[in-house]
Amino acid sequence: MEKPILAIGLLLFGLFIFQVSNDRKWGIFNNPKLTATSCNAVVIKLEKIIPGNWKLICEGNNLAVEINEIAIPKGATNLKSLMYRQLANHMAYVARQSHPDILEKVFFVRFKLSHPKMIINAVTEGKFIVKLATLESPEHIMSHLQSTVQVKEEIK
């Protein structure tokens, strides 16, 4: 090489740019899609099979599931119980369709079910939602959900 100082300078400049982009969170070196988390693995698998009114978001290693316009008959008198049943069905669906070892490593799973009259926000841990895939009887499912899921209701 005729000019080795140029090659060393380019190498040091590249390392400098890499370090600055990591510190300031910009550039091609810091793409959040390239960070491997359990949440990303669950989202990749679920995005292929979820209905159109679902939205999946990864917040770090936490999964957020937002479901808009739940299919409940308009003349239903017991909206609250139907919404809770839908919540349990959707949680079980996520548990069955995800790989259990990966879903277990997701820290928190947050569900938001929206209806024109009511919104339900529910939070649980990934290790608890995995158990819904194996539970069969409604009594066991109900007791498991009561002990592991925190719910907040919002009536419009």
pLDDT, tens digit only, all 156 positions of the chain:
688 898 899 999 988 888 887 777 666 666 666 777 899 999 999 999 998 889 999 988 999 999 997 777 777 788 888 889 899 999 999 999 999 999 999 999 999 999 888 899 999 999 999 999 999 888 999 999 999 999 999 988
Whole-angstrom distance, CA of residue 117 vs CA of residue 80: 10
- Regarding whether 48 and 26 lie in a shared domain, the answer is no
The tally of domains found in the chain comes to 2
**What pLDDT sits at residue 31?**
67
Q: Is residue 54 within 8 Å of residue 44, measured between CB atoms?
A: no
Q: What is the model's pTM?
A: 0.78
**What pLDDT sits at residue 32?**
65
- Regarding whether 76 and 130 lie in a shared domain, the answer is yes
**What pLDDT sits at residue 35?**
74
- Regarding whether 77 and 135 lie in a shared domain, the answer is yes
- Regarding whether 59 and 3 lie in a shared domain, the answer is no
- Regarding whether 26 and 89 lie in a shared domain, the answer is no
Q: Is residue 145 within 8 Å of residue 88, measured between CB atoms?
A: yes
**What pLDDT sits at residue 91?**
94
**What pLDDT sits at residue 49?**
93
Token readout for 7 is 């090659």
- Regarding whether 22 and 57 lie in a shared domain, the answer is no
- Regarding whether 77 and 6 lie in a shared domain, the answer is no
**What pLDDT sits at residue 30?**
65
- What is the number of residues in the chain? 156
- Regarding whether 96 and 24 lie in a shared domain, the answer is no
- Regarding whether 22 and 66 lie in a shared domain, the answer is no
**What pLDDT sits at residue 88?**
92
**What pLDDT sits at residue 33?**
67
- Regarding whether 44 and 21 lie in a shared domain, the answer is no
- Reported in sequence order, the residue ranges of the chain that DSSP labels E, i.e. its strands, are 54-59, 62-67, 108-115, 118-125, 150-155
- Regarding whether 90 and 106 lie in a shared domain, the answer is yes
**What pLDDT sits at residue 43?**
92
- Regarding whether 95 and 22 lie in a shared domain, the answer is no
**What pLDDT sits at residue 29?**
60
**What pLDDT sits at residue 36?**
77
Give the range of the structural domain holding residue 4, as residue numbers without chain letter.
Answer: 1-30
**What pLDDT sits at residue 113?**
93
